[in-house]
Amino acid sequence: MSQVAETATPSPLTLLQEEEKLFQESVRRFAKERLAPHVRAMDEEGKFRKDLLREMFELGLMGIDIGEQYGGQGGTFFQSVLAIEELAKVDPSASVIVDVQNTLVSNAIERWATAVQKQKYLSRLATESVGAYALSEPASGSDAFALATRAVPDGEGYRISGRKLWITNAGEADIFLVFATVDPAAGYRGITCFLIERGMPGFEVGKKEDKLGIRASSTCELILDDVTAGFEQVMGEVGKGYKVAIETLNEGRIGIAAQMLGLAEGAFEHALRYARERKQFGKRIGDFQGVQFELAEMATQIEAARLMVYNAARLRDAGEPFVTQAAMAKYFASTIAEEVASKAVEVLGGVGFTKDYPVEKLYRDAKIGRIYEGTSNMQRVTIAKALLDAS
């Protein structure tokens, strides 16, 4: 028996470094103590509390892997993944706010911005400003580069006009990465990324979507009507916006996978607790084999998803190829999140179908995981192409 114990494969949780464990515990404590009491009200109101957003800045959750020279935490991508996972256990809306800030916006600026742009924007993102990533349009979803938003040169910069849809964090954001084409005839090679700020003439945050799930996370349209952007607001090279988008979204998919992993863990914890407490026919419902089988399957799916998410994040931090692993993690974690949340509702039975218990909300929140930052079908395409093109 002792030999088996010594050679058993450790859980991914035991593989965390001490610093990562402490960070994870601090996020978990914030989620349970400060976030949890307000989740239901924020979901019903469709609005994230400003005081909680300020606290997330104060805790460093909005600038996890932004360098210390800019006021950030100087952490790793993997730590961002841990934070997203822990927040999603309690409220996926909070996790997606942190996700977009870290894995998309600040990550893109860190990689593509000039030294002046980094100093200006990363310091704000780390301490006070929410960022948003504006790629999607009415006719540009999975076909991400079918952009209609135009950036026309005017001698002193560009004039940008167009409409963006489904932009996460737009309701709270002050800094926007806006993708527009400077030359429609050039196709994806005309796409350019611009740093746009709230309050610029011609720029407006439009309608906020009334959504099925993650309701406290704002999703809005953006209206750009002849917005003037100087040359200094171009991020990366002109015509290289497609590279900014592709590289950032590949990493962002790991963040979404972490969100779905945390959501599944949260739903499972509620189901397990209920199975231990609820009694029928004189014993705990968890003593019935039918419920045991469901719990066993849920736990196994979560463990597999956790391994995939952590592996993709570790590969990214190590500078190793990770695109296929990110697609697999996003595809699998979003699939099992929906399944686990559904089973959690069933374990709780009638009360699981009511708003008195959190599993109803987690079930609604899970649906978006198979849609945003690349649908499940797009992930399957990515995975299949990697397999077919491998030498």
Region for residue 152 given its phi and psi (left: phi exceeds 0; alpha: psi -120 to 50; beta: otherwise): beta
Amino acid identity, residue 367?
A: K
Measured distance CA(42)–CA(48) in Å, rounded: 6
Is 158 in a helix, a strand, or coil?
strand
Question: Which residue in 145, 344, 165 sits closest to 264, CA to CA?
Answer: 344
Measured distance CA(93)–CA(71) in Å, rounded: 25
Identify whether the C-beta of residue 122 lies closer than 8 Å to the C-beta of residue 74.
no
Catalytic hit among 137, 221, 251, 373: 373
Identify whether the C-beta of residue 50 lies closer than 8 Å to the C-beta of residue 169.
no
Measured distance CA(100)–CA(62) in Å, rounded: 9
Question: Which residue in 132, 120, 129, 114 sits closest to 70, CA to CA?
Answer: 120
Contacts of 329 (CB under 8 A, 6+ apart): 253, 254, 257, 305, 308, 309, 311, 312
Identify whether the C-beta of residue 374 lies closer than 8 Å to the C-beta of residue 383.
no
Contacts of 49 (CB under 8 A, 6+ apart): 38, 42
Measured distance CA(15)–CA(57) in Å, rounded: 28
Identify whether the C-beta of residue 73 lies closer than 8 Å to the C-beta of residue 18.
no
Is 40 in a helix, a strand, or coil?
helix
Look up 373 and say whether it is catalytic: yes
Measured distance CA(130)–CA(176) in Å, rounded: 9
Measured distance CA(242)–CA(192) in Å, rounded: 7
- Give the CA distances from residue 186 to residues 154, 179, 220, 258, 344, in Å, rounded to whole numbers and listed in that order: 19, 15, 29, 36, 49
Kindly list the catalytic residues: 373
